[in-house]
Structure 1
């Protein structure tokens, strides 16, 4: 197995500049220069990896001899992103695949990244995946990108090779001549984790419809069988007699490429609740990255996740190598597959409409490093440049959520989640809580506050402390563990089994106690928060007033003495009026 190098490819490109097609690594097809069926504005969004030259309209027209649209001008200057997975990448890839052509029996055509195989008579053989779609390449963190595939999709492949015919030979009484009888790609197939899921008769540019099983990490293999038959004509001179015989040697080789993918079979686990004021609550947990929620039948109320999208070509197909027996020629590829890519946006999760729309109450996820290092150097997008929360679930509150039309949309175009209701039901009861705070003891230096938390309807104490938190294995069967806490000032406290917490404050002022309940998804019943306020100042106590009076008298003595002395000194220095006369 061998592989050509891009350095050689670039060097040889200089020699074949006259053969370069319209498409190139730095200058992909100009919008409007093809018959893809996409509009000029749509085509302008495809080439995020191209340099952002920011040409003026005059400079562009002088270089290419044509005008451009405003969207095209924007695409020349920056990279265009999408709120949801676009279909333009699949449309373009299907169109451009038609321009991919194999070589003849003496020439093999392959992209620089192809895994090449040689056998006795077959050389530079490969089976390379052109594109798999619908799919989305996701920038997850600073080291990882994953290709998520729809369970039902299409794989486009490219197979080629050349036949190495031995040289003819001639000796005094014998000559050997070689020729090709037949050669073909006899069979092509697609495997998932080693199992064949699609196969067909061989061709150089096969198109497969496939169905993937399961969800999550998997391997996809594109495989091809290549067969060759040669004729070996042997002519011998025996005395005065010429004898000719024929041999028909055959050769075959299996070539393949394996791709690591994630099968995007999205499932969502859902919990419902109703708030005391009649608002609806929904908590949704997804097993894979997700795009957004649609909460109403008309689609007016939505929640968008952290992911945004752009489209870019697969740069492995920028160049094609044309290899024959004696030489290799590198040209720019006429066929450029384009993929949709997802990235965590600086905008982050948001609900729409912004005013009077859904309220995001909780986000579950885990922190990941910014995936900015995995983005191509020419791509300029609003990607987060700091660690971000890769959410796997949200809790949302809205005045009315339509359960029959609730939809969890996927990051792969056209995919939405199968919604699953967990065992034990999805309904959660949310009640009002009642938080009170009062001063139970105070002096001139501190005050003791008593905070009490109860169920507003039943009066039952709400305990937040978990005495078995450090030793959960010894907790009694049926013991309810309730998360949540109360804040007051800069303190964070939990109520005991009687629903009471005692707090000491030493700084005068007004204090507001606030109950922060745990997620309603994990509590039944659950509660909404509540607030209560109390003020404290040392002057509110008798001892405080006495202390103030004593302090005032003590600190005023030096000023009184100074005032008295000043008055006496002034009287001593005053000159009687009759002495001025």
Structure 2
């Protein structure tokens, strides 16, 4: 009966559904407002202020109230996730020698005496989980950061039911001997003797990497065996040791940012700047003296790692699951429907162009409880952003990444790459017209030299460094390009006043580069003698039925109308 009870107890696991702590109940280095923004993965079951006060006997801030009904996003990766994680980690406690504590996703290892042993990565900070598209969710980490881990085990000490009555077992010593942090098999940091190790790292020579937390657990047991009886008895003592290595690994991308700025000067003195980077990045500031800045398509939210919602406590006979006292929180980056933005909104720089690669929507990679304005269709990553601004301090140019604290080192472009933008001159004239069509000649020339501007339309993923001119001219609903003489001929079918506009495209890949210009042309059939003749002939032709009807009516009245009607006129 006793054995059956033990077996049943060993199979019973109590499942606990965890919720993030209520803002204001655990500080962990944050204010109530800050902690309220952390939990984007929680269920947004909104309750009113009155209900909240009745339930908890307390009032909440406006931010806390807002976060209760929706999820809060950020323009820049916030520091709150790392602050919470660092402070909450202190609440993570291991078991005793008879109990092992571990998260449900831990990889457990058993030896002869060492049982339920694990080494599990708690968090790596600063870092950001990227949501690029379905199946593409890289974990970006800073080149310099901190990894926190959790290591635990229990020791099985044989008892009299396992061995002979004459044998006694006891635990002599146990310890976590060495803890190592490895990058692709190479040890980059190590410590010892802690269930909750904190390992600082520096990585500067890689892009993709695998980080591994590895620990050696050592135990030593004492075995005493008594032989003989009475005065003839003897006692023999021996020791048994066991060392077990446990580990946990994660795949990461080392987020070392390097950006290439390109500059231009507009004819009116405005500055042009474009920044290109082959990874997702946040945006850049143009000067230290104003708030002029631009950001790309990426926005951010924070959410807990649900793998740590609960912990399991296991001993020799049973295991129980309970809410975890320590929950890591991460920053997440996603492409937003808000899109690229310049600040200040009214007086800030003008975004001229963005470019990147086409990706599908990442909605399927985001938890169903996260309510954010993520793009719901394919989008273009803003790996490059070009702006025009009245102010620019090249020494103060700062390019910020999607991982908190990671700013790009500025790689200056090659000499001769800076552009002096020139004025363009666009003209449009009617060469020939009749009552149904007009032939318009559009000319595009360099205002400074008078040379023709020849257009080409060769699409490029990144315009930086190219030589092809990508501009075009629109007139009406037609899009045209000029030939080697800077001329394009356009046939118009509907009389109207038309505005021709030159779209010069990006200045990044063109030398010389130009600014836009417009020209107006009017076409009306009455603009020629033939047009007037055709108009009069058409009008006469259209009026014939009215003349016939008038004449017929007049004759009918004379034939059948009252005779005195016509006699009065005599």
TM-score if structure 1 supplies the norm length?
A: 0.90
CA RMSD of aligned residues (A): 2.5
Aligned residue for 1:334, secondary structure, equals coil
Equivalent residues of 1:364, 1:392 under 8 A apart = yes
Question: Where does residue 496 of structure 1 map in the other structure?
Answer: 483
Question: Where does residue 143 of structure 1 map in the other structure?
Answer: 135
Question: Where does residue 153 of structure 1 map in the other structure?
Answer: 145
Aligned residue for 2:244, secondary structure, equals strand
Distance 1:171 1:9 in 2: 22
Question: Where does residue 172 of structure 2 map in the other structure?
Answer: 181
Indicate which of 22, 25, 39 corresponds to 2:18.
Answer: 25
Aligned residue for 2:553, secondary structure, equals helix
Question: Where does residue 300 of structure 2 map in the other structure?
Answer: 309
Equivalent residues of 1:214, 1:265 under 8 A apart = no
Indicate which of 537, 542, 552 corresponds to 1:555.
Answer: 542
Question: Where does residue 472 of structure 2 map in the other structure?
Answer: 485
Indicate which of 151, 154, 166 corresponds to 1:162.
Answer: 154
Q: State the shift of 1:170 in Å.
A: 8.4
Question: Where does residue 396 of structure 2 map in the other structure?
Answer: 405
Question: Where does residue 474 of structure 1 map in the other structure?
Answer: none
Aligned residue for 2:107, secondary structure, equals coil
Aligned residue for 1:336, secondary structure, equals coil
Question: Where does residue 256 of structure 2 map in the other structure?
Answer: 265
Q: State the shift of 1:580 in Å.
A: 12
> After superposition, what is the alpha-carbon deviation per residue over 1:187-226, rounded to whole angstroms, capped at 9, x for unaligned?
1111122211111123100111111223532211111111
Distance 1:213 1:518 in 2: 37
Distance 1:519 1:578 in 2: 81
Indicate which of 84, 93, 99 corresponds to 2:85.
Answer: 93
Equivalent residues of 1:9, 1:330 under 8 A apart = no
Q: Would the alpha carbon gap of residues 35 and 568 (structure 1) be closer, same or farther in structure 2, given more than 3 Å must change? A: closer
- Mapping 1:539-578, distance limit 5 Å: 539-577=526-564
Indicate which of 354, 372, 382 corresponds to 1:381.
Answer: 372
2:181 is equivalent to residue 190 of structure 1: yes
Question: Where does residue 341 of structure 1 map in the other structure?
Answer: 332
Indicate which of 320, 328, 345 corresponds to 1:329.
Answer: 320
2:215 is equivalent to residue 224 of structure 1: yes
Q: Which runs of 5+ in 2 are unaligned?
A: 1-8, 460-465
2:280 is equivalent to residue 276 of structure 1: no
Question: Where does residue 507 of structure 2 map in the other structure?
Answer: 520
Question: Where does residue 13 of structure 1 map in the other structure?
Answer: 14
Aligned residue for 1:214, secondary structure, equals coil
Distance 1:481 1:49 in 2: 48
Q: Which runs of 5+ in 1 are unaligned?
A: 1-7, 18-23, 471-478
Equivalent residues of 1:169, 1:177 under 8 A apart = no
Equivalent residues of 1:273, 1:430 under 8 A apart = yes
Distance 2:97 2:113 in 1: 11
Q: Would the alpha carbon gap of residues 135 and 399 (structure 1) be closer, same or farther in structure 2, given more than 3 Å must change? A: same
Question: Where does residue 21 of structure 1 map in the other structure?
Answer: none
Equivalent residues of 1:270, 1:426 under 8 A apart = no
> After superposition, what is the alpha-carbon deviation per residue over 1:112-155, rounded to whole angstroms, capped at 9, x for unaligned?
11111112221111111111111112222233322211111111
Equivalent residues of 2:467, 2:511 under 8 A apart = no
Q: State the shift of 1:10 in Å.
A: 13
> After superposition, what is the alpha-carbon deviation per residue over 1:397-455, rounded to whole angstroms, capped at 9, x for unaligned?
01121111111112122221111113344411211111112122223332222221111
Distance 1:122 1:379 in 2: 41
Indicate which of 353, 359, 383 corresponds to 1:368.
Answer: 359
Equivalent residues of 1:9, 1:321 under 8 A apart = no
Distance 1:579 1:400 in 2: 88
Equivalent residues of 1:169, 1:176 under 8 A apart = no
Distance 1:576 1:29 in 2: 107
Distance 1:540 1:555 in 2: 21
> After superposition, what is the alpha-carbon deviation per residue over 1:363-405, rounded to whole angstroms, capped at 9, x for unaligned?
0112222222222222222222232221101110011211111
Q: Would the alpha carbon gap of residues 71 and 564 (structure 1) be closer, same or farther in structure 2, given more than 3 Å must change? A: same
Q: Relative to structure 2, which stretch is displaced further, 206-215 or 452-461?
A: 206-215
Q: Would the alpha carbon gap of residues 310 and 240 (structure 1) be closer, same or farther in structure 2, given more than 3 Å must change? A: same
Instruction: Say how many residue pairs are matched.
Output: 554
Equivalent residues of 1:370, 1:385 under 8 A apart = yes
> After superposition, what is the alpha-carbon deviation per residue over 1:465-522, rounded to whole angstroms, capped at 9, x for unaligned?
48xx79xxxxxxxx96322211222222211212122222222222222211131111
Distance 1:112 1:163 in 2: 20
TM-score if structure 2 supplies the norm length?
A: 0.92
Distance 1:552 1:230 in 2: 116
Distance 1:332 1:128 in 2: 17
- Mapping 1:344-493, distance limit 5 Å: 344-465=335-456, 481-493=468-480
Q: State the shift of 1:167 in Å.
A: 3.5
Q: Would the alpha carbon gap of residues 170 and 216 (structure 1) be closer, same or farther in structure 2, given more than 3 Å must change? A: closer
Distance 1:255 1:298 in 2: 53
Indicate which of 99, 105, 108 corresponds to 1:113.
Answer: 105
Distance 2:11 2:235 in 1: 48
2:44 is equivalent to residue 57 of structure 1: no
Distance 2:163 2:285 in 1: 81
